[in-house]
C-alpha cells in the first residue's frame, strides 16, 4: 500500500539535509527505541522509466537521509543503508529500502585518535565523542545537544590502537554503574520549523513529560504481550577486562572484576545462576568493577519486556519515547485488574492498510520486581 496522505517520506542529502524528492512507499514500518537503533523498511514502486530515472540517483545507501512526516510532525529520521531493486514474476519492478536511525551512523565511525577525560561529567564525555565525529571532514551531520550535566564524573582513556567504534564507546560509557541513556532524536525545531537532529542524554534514564498517559484495555489498547525470559538471568557475576600481562612469553591473564554474589537471592530459594561479561578494552579495576555491578544488577531477574498495541490516536505522538504510561487491564488473565506505570522504551508505527486502522506497538520497561500477576 501507499503511505496515506497524512504521511510523507522525504528523501534528503545526508550531510546538507537538502530535499531531493518526496517518494511513494509501500509496506512501510518505522520503529525507534531507547537503548538500540530503530529502523525503517519499505518498498518504492517503479511503474515506468520516468520513476526509475527519478529514484536511481537519489536512493544512494550511505549518503541519503530519510524523514517520515505525519502531518507537520517528524515521526522518524535516519539514514538509508541498503536498497534492493527487484522484479517479480508478474513483471512489477520495485526497490526495497532499509534505513537505520541517525545513531547507526556512529557504528560507522572509528576513533583514530586517543581521547582522554579526567574527572569529567559523563555527559560531557559523551558530547566530546560526538564532537570528535562531527569535527572530522565529512562527519558533520548537524547533531546538536544541550549543556545539561548528570552529576557523575568519570575518568576515561579511549585508545586509538583499539580502533573502537564510537557507538561502542558510548554504549559502554552509558552502561556502567551510575550510567545514563542516550539517543539521537529527530524532530522539527519549533523555533525555526527546520528538521533537527539532537543528542538526548538522560541520567539515569531519559524521561519525558510529567503526567502519565492512561491506556486502558478494553479501550485504546488492542493487544498486549508480557513475555518473561530467564535464559540470561544470573545471581552470581564476574566480568573480564583487558589483559594485564606485559610479558609476551607468559600466559595471558585478563583483569577480572570482584565476584558478585546475590546472597539474598540464594537465601530466598533461587538456584545459583552464573553470568559473565567481557570488556577487553577496560584496563582499570575500578572501571571493570563498575561495569560488572551494572551488569549484575540488570541480570538479577528474568527479562520482561511488555508490549502493547494501541490505536494511533491524538495521545500517541513521536515524543512518546521516555514517557510514562499508566496501563490498566481487566480481562481473563487479569481478573482483579492490572494498574501499573511503565516507561515507553520503543515504538513501532504501522500505517493503515485495507481493513486495518493505523496502530502503534509500544515496548514498555518493566519496573524491577514488578512481575504481572
Residue 1 lies in a domain: no
pLDDT-derived band of residue 249, with 50, 70 and 90 as boundaries? low
Residue 373 lies in a domain: no
Residue 372 lies in a domain: no
How far is it, in rounded angstroms, from Cα 361 to Cα 349? 6
CATH number, domain with residue 72: 2.30.300.10
**Residue 282's pLDDT is what?**
87
**Pick from 105, 122, 144: which residue ends a domain?**
105
**Pick from 299, 319, 348: which residue ends a domain?**
299
With b for 16 or more beta-carbon neighbours within 10 A and e for fewer, the 213-241 pattern comes to bebebeebbeebebeeeeeebbbbbbbbb
- pLDDT tens string 89-142: 999 999 999 999 999 999 999 999 999 999 999 999 999 999 999 999 999 999
Q: Is residue 225 located within the same domain as residue 336? A: yes
Q: Is residue 359 located within the same domain as residue 220? A: yes
Q: Is residue 247 located within the same domain as residue 356? A: no
CATH number, domain with residue 166: 3.55.50
Q: Is residue 295 located within the same domain as residue 307? A: no
- pLDDT tens string 177-186: 999 999 999 9
Range of the structural domain that residue 139 is part of: 110-202
Yes or no: say if 37 and 25 are a contact pair by the CB < 8 Å rule.
Answer: no
**Residue 311's pLDDT is what?**
87
Q: Is residue 121 located within the same domain as residue 48? A: no
Q: Is residue 346 located within the same domain as residue 278? A: no
**Is it the case that residue 321 has pLDDT exceeding 70?**
yes
Grid coordinates belonging to 175: 552502561
**Is it the case that residue 366 has pLDDT exceeding 90?**
no
Give the residue from 45, 83, 49, 47 showing the smallest Cα distance to 63: 83
Least confident of 168-172, 202-206, 349-353: 349-353
Q: Using CA of residue 187, residue 193, residue 194, residue 197, what is the dihedral sign?
A: negative
Q: How many domains does the chain have?
A: 4
Residue 370 lies in a domain: no
Which stretches of 240-337 are DSSP H helices? 263-267, 285-299
Residue 371 lies in a domain: no
**Residue 92's pLDDT is what?**
94
How far is it, in rounded angstroms, from Cα 257 to Cα 107? 28
Write down the residue that cell numbers 538509508 correspond to: 80
Yes or no: say if 184 and 198 are a contact pair by the CB < 8 Å rule.
Answer: yes
**Residue 315's pLDDT is what?**
82
- Of the chain, the percentage scoring pLDDT greater than 90 comes to 79
Amino acid at each position: 500500500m501507499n503511505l496515506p496522505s497524512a504521511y510523507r517520506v522525504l528523501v534528503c542529502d545526508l550531510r546538507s539535509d537538502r530535499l531531493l524528492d518526496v517518494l511513494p512507499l509501500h509496506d512501510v514500518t518505522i520503529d525507534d527505541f531507547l537503548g538500540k537503533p530503530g529502523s525503517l523498511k519499505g518498498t518504492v514502486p517503479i511503474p515506468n522509466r520516468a520513476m526509475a530515472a527519478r529514484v536511481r540517483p537519489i536512493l544512494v545507501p550511505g549518503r541519503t537521509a530519510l524523514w517520515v512526516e505525519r502531518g507537520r510532525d517528524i515521526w522518524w529520521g535516519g539514514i538509508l543503508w541498503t536498497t534492493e531493486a527487484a522484479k517479480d514474476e508478474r513483471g512489477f519492478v520495485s526497490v526495497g529500502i532499509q534505513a537505520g536511525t541517525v545513531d547507526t551512523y556512529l557504528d560507522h565511525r572509528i576513533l583514530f585518535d586517543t581521547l582522554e577525560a579526567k574527572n569529567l561529567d559523563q555527559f560531557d564525555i559523551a558530547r566530546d565523542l560526538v564532537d570528535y565525529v562531527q569535527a572530522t571532514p565529512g562527519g558533520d551531520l548537524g547533531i546538536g545537544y544541550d549543556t545539561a550535566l548528570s552529576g557523575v564524573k568519570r575518568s576515561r582513556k579511549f585508545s586509538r590502537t583499539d580502533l573502537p567504534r564510537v557507538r561502542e564507546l558510548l554504549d559502554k560509557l552509558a552502561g556502567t554503574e551510575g550510567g545514563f541513556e542516550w539517543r539521537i532524536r529527530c524532530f522539527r525545531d519549533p523555533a525555526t520549523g527546520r528538521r533537527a537532529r539532537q543528542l538526548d542524554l538522560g541520567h539515569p534514564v531519559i524521561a519525558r513529560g510529567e503526567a502519565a498517559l492512561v491506556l486502558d484495555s478494553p479501550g485504546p489498547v488492542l493487544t498486549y504481550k508480557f513475555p518473561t525470559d530467564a535464559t540470561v538471568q544470573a545471581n552470581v557475576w564476574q566480568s573480564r577486562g583487558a589483559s594485564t600481562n606485559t610479558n609476551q612469553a607468559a600466559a595471558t591473564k585478563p583483569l577480572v572484576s570482584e565476584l558478585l554474589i546475590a546472597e539474598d537471592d540464594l537465601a530466598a530459594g533461587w538456584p545459583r545462576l552464573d553470568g559473565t561479561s567481557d570488556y577487553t578494552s577496560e584496563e582499570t579495576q575500578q572501571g571493570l568493577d563498575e561495569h560488572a555491578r551494572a551488569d549484575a544488577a540488570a541480570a538479577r531477574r528474568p527479562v520482561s519486556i511488555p508490549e502493547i498495541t494501541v490505536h494511533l490516536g491524538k495521545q500517541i505522538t513521536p515524543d512518546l519515547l521516555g514517557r510514562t504510561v499508566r496501563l490498566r487491564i481487566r480481562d481473563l488473565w487479569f481478573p482483579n485488574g492490572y494498574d501499573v506505570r511503565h516507561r515507553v522504551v520503543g515504538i513501532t508505527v504501522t500505517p493503515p492498510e485495507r481493513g486495518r486502522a493505523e496502530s502503534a506497538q509500544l515496548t514498555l520497561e518493566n519496573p524491577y520486581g514488578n512481575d504481572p500477576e
